[in-house]
Amino acid sequence: DGGITQSPKYLFRKEGQNVTLSCEQNLNHDAMYWYRQDPGQGLRLIYYSQIVNDFQKGDIAEGYSVSREKKESFPLTVTSAQKNPTAFYLCASSPEDRGRNEQFFGPGTRLTVL
């Protein structure tokens, strides 16, 4: 089955640690996205990538980093510089980036900082 997988589903981190969230898709989509979701605030874009080896900052990129070495994979690293990292993180992909097509979402990773 084609789709987007995110791992782990739940992640606990101590303050000061970097953690990496995995996102893999087998939909052959060019564009991939990372969102952060907080209660009552909808989804906010962290980073996006239109093609391999290229990515751009979204609205809230500070304290995060990404890589896009393969078309299928778009991992997100939450660094210790992110002041309030506890949130639900969603990865998405889209067949093209001109906005006509919808984005397909993974099941999410819930990150909790202890």
* Shortest Å, Cβ 17 to other proteins: 23
Q: What amino acid occupies position 93? A: S
- Pairing type for strands 54-57 and 19-25 reads unpaired
- Near other proteins by CB under 8 A: residue from 52, 72, 86, 97: 97
- Near other proteins by CB under 8 A: residue from 11, 27, 45, 52: 45
Of the ranges 12-20, 61-69, 71-79, 94-102, which one interacts with other proteins (CB under 8 A)?
A: 94-102
Q: What amino acid occupies position 19? A: V
Applying CB under 8 A, does 31 fall inside the site for other proteins?
yes
Contact status, residue 66 vs residue 75, Cβ threshold 8 Å: yes
Question: How crowded is the C-beta side of 54, counted as CA atoms within 13 Å?
Answer: 5
Q: What are phi and psi of 73, to 5 degrees?
A: -125, 140
CA distance 105 to 112: 21
Applying CB under 8 A, does 87 fall inside the site for other proteins?
no
Contacts with other proteins by CB under 8 A lie at: 4, 6, 31, 33, 40-45, 48, 50, 56, 58, 88, 90, 92, 97-100, 102-108, 110
